[in-house]
Amino acid sequence: MKFFIDTANLAQIKEAQDLGILDGVTTNPSLMAKEGISGDANVIAHYKAICDIVDGDVSAEVIATDFENMVKEGEALAALNPKIVVKVPMIKDGVKAIKYFSSKGIKTNCTLVFSSGQALLAAKAGATYVSPFVGRLDDISTDGLALIEDIRLIYDNYGYETQILAASVRHPMHIIECAKMGADVMTGPLSAILALLKHPLTDSGLAQFLADHAKAAGK
Ligand code: G3P
């Protein structure tokens, strides 16, 4: 399972990269705004800075919502660095744009996916990744993880190569359940990734080992 971090915060991206388990980064316009990044030149510079830190795919989202401008923006983003994956929303022109990018060998991430029908369209258009938003479905009392399970079944039925990128992951159990269901990738905050480390028996066991070691050494 690939681990992507869902942030535009350079310090957090670096921390995850230094841990040695990071496979990529996803961003979106809200995450860029959260870091105070605005204006075309600053946005471009920030994507370049992310690409310099991470070994792996970096999703950069188009702002345009019409085919022509999505293509223009996406091609400019893809030209920045081979790590860039053009993130395109699941709308009619988005599907057309994904098909276009896929025919040009440009990697895509189809975002804002909330149903298996949308995921099927993304795969048919040739998306590299599809991003079902697990947490946001949970937020409206709908089972986000069940969507991952349905998409896995549909993609396996037909051998679609589009990778399921479980997005809007909020906590460690989302990651574990997505792994059990065979999601290819998960993207979540650093806090959810680091929470996987935690177990009280690890902490107490280590404390005991160190105490026994010190005792045996006569300390
Ligand atoms: O990047 C898309 C997605 O992961 C957003 O997550 O927590 O804002 O629902 P969230």
Residues 27-49 have pLDDT tens digits of 999 999 999 999 999 999 999 99
Q: Is 29 in the pocket of ligand 1 (CB under 6 A)?
A: no
Choosing from 14, 34, 87, 124, the catalytic residue is 87
87 is an active site residue: yes
Percent of the chain with pLDDT over 90: 99
User: What are the tokens at 5?
Assistant: 């971090």
pLDDT in tens, 121-140: 999 999 999 999 999 999 99
> Residues 170, 191: contact at Cβ < 8 Å?
no
Q: How confident is the model at residue 26 (pLDDT cuts 50, 70, 90)?
A: very high
Atom of ligand 1 lying closest to residue 31 CA: 1
**Ligand 1, atom 9, residue with closest C-alpha:** 168
Residue 32: per-residue pLDDT: 98
Q: Is 28 in the pocket of ligand 1 (CB under 6 A)?
A: yes
Task: Specify the amino acid at residue 173.
Answer: M
pLDDT at 219 over 80: no
Q: Is 128 in the pocket of ligand 1 (CB under 6 A)?
A: no
Q: Pocket of ligand 1, candidates 9, 28, 109, 142: which has the most ligand atoms within 8 Å of its Cβ, to mutate?
A: 28
pLDDT at 5 over 80: yes
pLDDT in tens, 150-203: 999 999 999 999 999 999 999 999 999 999 999 999 999 999 999 999 999 999
Between CA 55 and CA 37 the distance in angstroms is 22
Phi-psi region of 218 (alpha: psi -120 to 50; beta: other; left: phi over 0): left
